Amino acid sequence: MITLKSDREIELIRKNGRIVANTLALMRRHAAPGVTTKELDGIAEDYIRGEGAVPSFLGYGEPPYPAAICTSVNEAVVHGVPDGRALQEGDIVGIDVGASSGGFHGDGAATLPIGRIDDETGRLLAATQAALAAGIAKALPGGRLGDVSAAIQGAAEDAGFSVVRALVGHGIGREMHEAPQIPNYGRAGRGVRLKTGMVLALEPMINIGTYEVELLDDEWTIVTADRTLSAHFEHTVAITEDGPVILTVADPEFLDQ
Ligand code: MF3
Ligand code: CO
């Protein structure tokens, strides 16, 4: 069942979305050659708790997720676990952040370049961000979920990249993962009808090579089957009468630095 959120509930999700987006901006500031993903995790957790929220991912699932954020380097698609690995010039790192307070969650992600990256990698990041934007633009009352999925897939594949099938976006609210599941591929005009009050975490995962993925032995990290690079961007989005509203928005002072 898809729960519709009231304006008051959407404001609570937006508070968490703001903390998530500010955390991502902090990560952009700190992610540099020589910095470990564990250091990024510590900075993120301190910020989230300092804002009076709790990291949504810590302890989630089975085995319990062991960190505050996910840090997915290069061929890691999502759910990379922070560790002592130092980032290197030319890497990309997908940072995924969830925050919870007031009984609701916010969820967002961005893939960051470390120093200079090569042209194809830059195109992958741009295409994944553009695919997310194309999906958000279709999050309209009266539309269909398939409109969102098809827009994401079209943008990614038109750029020459492949869409991960095995993982999906999701509804979000009192739970981090609510109905509906949102594939990043599909057909326009199909699927459930979109309504004002739905809040969706849209999160395309886009690969340079095959869309097939594998789970590593740590039971969390998902990597591309062919070990080519993968990118991931995510926003929490409310469907309103006035159209899609992104709830994972940073404060201006976080963006300027
Ligand atoms: N944004 C991801 C998701 O929606 C992050 C989950 S990480 C986990 O699934 F550890 F919490 F699973
Ligand atoms: Co998510």
> Which atom in ligand 1 lies closest to the alpha carbon of residue 70?
7
Query: Ligand 1: which residues within 6 Å by Cβ?
Result: 57, 60-61, 65, 70, 79, 96, 107, 109, 170, 201, 203, 234
- Report the pLDDT value the prediction gives residue 220, as an integer from 0 to 100: 98
Across the range 139-167, mean pLDDT stands at 99
Ligand 1 center to residue 230 CA distance, Å? 16
Mean of all residue pLDDT scores within the chain:
98
Does 153 have pLDDT greater than 80? yes
Ligand 2 center to residue 168 CA distance, Å? 8
> Which atom in ligand 1 lies closest to the alpha carbon of residue 170?
4
Which ligand is in closest contact with the Cα of 71?
1
Does 99 have pLDDT greater than 90? yes
**Which residues have a Cβ under 8 Å from the Cβ of 34 and sit 6 or more positions away?**
86, 87
All structural domains of the chain with their residue ranges: 7-255
Across the range 134-138, mean pLDDT stands at 99
Ligand 2 center to residue 248 CA distance, Å? 12
Superfamily holding 7-255: Creatinase/methionine aminopeptidase superfamily (3.90.230.10)
Across the range 174-192, mean pLDDT stands at 98
**% of the chain beyond a pLDDT of 90:** 99
Transcribe the chain into DSSP letters: -PPPPPHHHHHHHHHHHHHHHHHHHHHHHH--TT-BHHHHHHHHHHHHHHTT-EESSTT-TTTTP-SSEEEEETTEEE-PPP-SPBP-TT-EEEEEEEEEETTEEEEEEEEEE-S---HHHHHHHHHHHHHHHHHHHT--TTSBHHHHHHHHHHHHHHTT-EE-SS--EEE-SSSSSEEEEE-SS--TT-SSBP-TT-EEEE--EEESS-S-EEE-TTSS-EEETT---EEE-BEEEEEETTEEEE-----HHHH--
Ligand 1 center to residue 60 CA distance, Å? 8
Establish whether the linkage from the previous residue to 64 is cis, with ω within 30° of 0: no
- Report the pLDDT value the prediction gives residue 256, as an integer from 0 to 100: 73
Amino acid present at 114: I
Q: What is the pTM of this model?
A: 0.98
- Report the pLDDT value the prediction gives residue 97, as an integer from 0 to 100: 99
Ligand 1 center to residue 238 CA distance, Å? 19
Across the range 66-90, mean pLDDT stands at 99
Does 257 have pLDDT greater than 90? no
Which ligand is in closest contact with the Cα of 167?
1
Across the range 125-150, mean pLDDT stands at 99
> Which atom in ligand 1 lies closest to the alpha carbon of residue 172?
4
Ligand 1, pocket-test mutation among 41, 54, 56, 70, most atoms within 8 A of CB: 70
Transcribe 145-201 into DSSP letters: HHHHHHHHHHHHHHTT-EE-SS--EEE-SSSSSEEEEE-SS--TT-SSBP-TT-EEE
- Report the pLDDT value the prediction gives residue 58, as an integer from 0 to 100: 98
> Which atom in ligand 1 lies closest to the alpha carbon of residue 65?
10
